[in-house]
Every structure is written in C-alpha cells, then in structure tokens.
Amino acid sequence: MTTATATTPAPRVLLVGATSRTGLFAVPHLLKKGWHIIASVRSEARAAEVKKLAEATAAGTLETYVLDLTSLKTPADARAVLDATKPTYVVWPAGANEDADAETIHAIDFVAAQAFMRATVADTNVTKYMHLSYLQNRRRHAPWWNAEDGKISDYFNTEVIGIFHKARVVSDGLFAALVAQRRKTDPAFQGILFRPSVLVDTEPTGKFRIVRAAATGSVTRADTADVLVRLLARDDVHGYVDLENGEAGADEEIQKAVAEGFDAIEGEFDSTEALLAEYGLN
C-alpha cells in the first residue's frame, strides 16, 4: 500500500507595485525561493518588464495583475483584489511617484494603502504582510537617535516630503494597530512595516544596520530588495524593521534584531491600547 504524502503548496506572494525600483530588484530573489509571484502592475505595458525578469530566473512562477492603485477607495475594493489573487504573503513596495501631486499622494499613500491594510490584515489566508514605509516616518524621534538624526528627520518630514509624511504617518499607525489587533488572536501572523532609510541606486554593499539605525544614512535599492526577501522568508520577524547600509551581514543583523526582540516601533506610541484606541480598534 502506498501512502500519499501531502506537499505544502508554494507561498503565493502578491507584490503590489512590482515595477517599483525596489520591487524590480526583489522579483528575482522572490522567484529563487520557488514561490509563486503575483506581480501587480499599473498597466499591461509595464507587465512585460516584470515578465522578462521571470524568463531569466529558472525557479518560481510569476503572473501579472493589472491594478491602478487609485481605484482602491474602500476595503471592499481591496478585498476584491485579494479574492482575485488569493495570496498567502503580501508585499507592498508601492507609493505615489516622487513627482505626484498632493491629490495623488493622498489617493495612494492614505486612501488605497489604508483600504488595502484593512482588507489584508482581515484576510486569514494571508499569514505575512509586509508594507514598505521609510525610516524617518515617525511621530516621535526614536529614543536611540541623536540630535542630528532628529534634525534631519524633521527636515525631511516638513521641508522635503511633507505631503507624503502626513499621509504615511497615519497609514503606518493604522498598520501597527491592525497587526496588534490580529496578533491578539493569531500570534503567528507576521505584520512587518519595512522602513528603509533614503533609497539610493549605487552599488549594493551587502552590509547593514537594522538595530537602532540612525536617521542620517541611506541604503541601496538592491540591498533593500535582498533584505526584504530574507525577512519575508523567516517565521520570526514582525513589527517595524528599519534598514540602512552599515557594517554587518544581512542575516547576522536580522538575527541580532530577532535575538534582542528589537522592534523599531519602540518609543512611537504610549501603549498598544492607546494605539488601538486611536484607530477605534480596541
């Protein structure tokens, strides 16, 4: 008699904003894991670019899904995307483009992002959700920052990307609140707010700081994509993960953060209960 052995299906990874510069670096790493990638792209024209990356990678499988993020106005709109794509992992490296006007930034980084967060965290088929934000996006200076870190972060958030900051600081808080609420009954759920510092396109260094990162650094998009996939592949990472290029290898620095139980959310909110109350989730 032969006994059938159940094989675990490969994770289905919905990559929202697959044509982001970071997303394009991430696609080959995601495929190399042998995962199935659903690459959400704004148009068919951009889909070809992503499909080419899959042709060059032997492992994994990829499909594309056309989605204009400005069409996501409610959690029900986002729910329809999840119903159509059936992901187990979701990664959001999307965001309004750097030259977007205030209305578009609000539509994507506030309305669509929050609709998507609400639908995704409520989806019990999704076991990991990684949303990208940026390291300096805080309501309060991190307790480990020095005066220069505080000054540069205030400057970014008011003088350089003020409209993004206003949208994202509310969205990031909602993400933290929704994840905290879900983890009350599902502690294995991984909600990761991945927060690279200023993104640059120089050569990757393969060296990082995650634990108590400064606000004055930067990190390459290629390095960010590499760390993104390493984080996603682990079962023990959740919370706010800051990233800048530094001195340690990726796995060494991730392991250090896990071993210390370090979460860059530290110092951001008075308490989890206060956070939940702010978003009406308690």
Contact residues for ligand NAP, defined by CB under 6 A: 17, 19-23, 42, 46, 68-70, 93-97, 108, 132, 134, 196, 198-199, 221
Query: Considering beta carbons, is residue 133 or 190 the nearer one to ligand NAP?
Result: 133
Least separation in angstroms between residue 224's CB and ligand NAP is 8
Least separation in angstroms between residue 238's CB and ligand NAP is 19
Query: Considering beta carbons, is residue 62 or 276 the nearer one to ligand NAP?
Result: 62
Query: Considering beta carbons, is residue 191 or 196 the nearer one to ligand NAP?
Result: 196
Least separation in angstroms between residue 183's CB and ligand NAP is 23
Helices (H), 10-95: 21-32, 44-55, 75-85
Find the helix or strand (DSSP H, E) in which 103 lies.
helix 102-105
Least separation in angstroms between residue 273's CB and ligand NAP is 29
The two tokens of residue 259 are 């071993």
Pairing label, strands 239-245, 208-209: antiparallel
- Residue 223, helix vs strand vs coil: helix
Query: Considering beta carbons, is residue 88 or 218 the nearer one to ligand NAP?
Result: 218
Query: Considering beta carbons, is residue 113 or 276 the nearer one to ligand NAP?
Result: 113
**Sequence-separated contacts (24+) of 213-217 with Cβ below 8 Å:** 213/135, 213/242, 213/243, 213/244, 213/246, 213/264, 214/145, 214/146, 214/149, 214/244, 215/135, 215/136, 215/142, 215/145, 215/149, 215/150, 215/152, 215/153, 216/148, 216/149, 216/152, 217/244, 217/245, 217/246
Least separation in angstroms between residue 241's CB and ligand NAP is 12
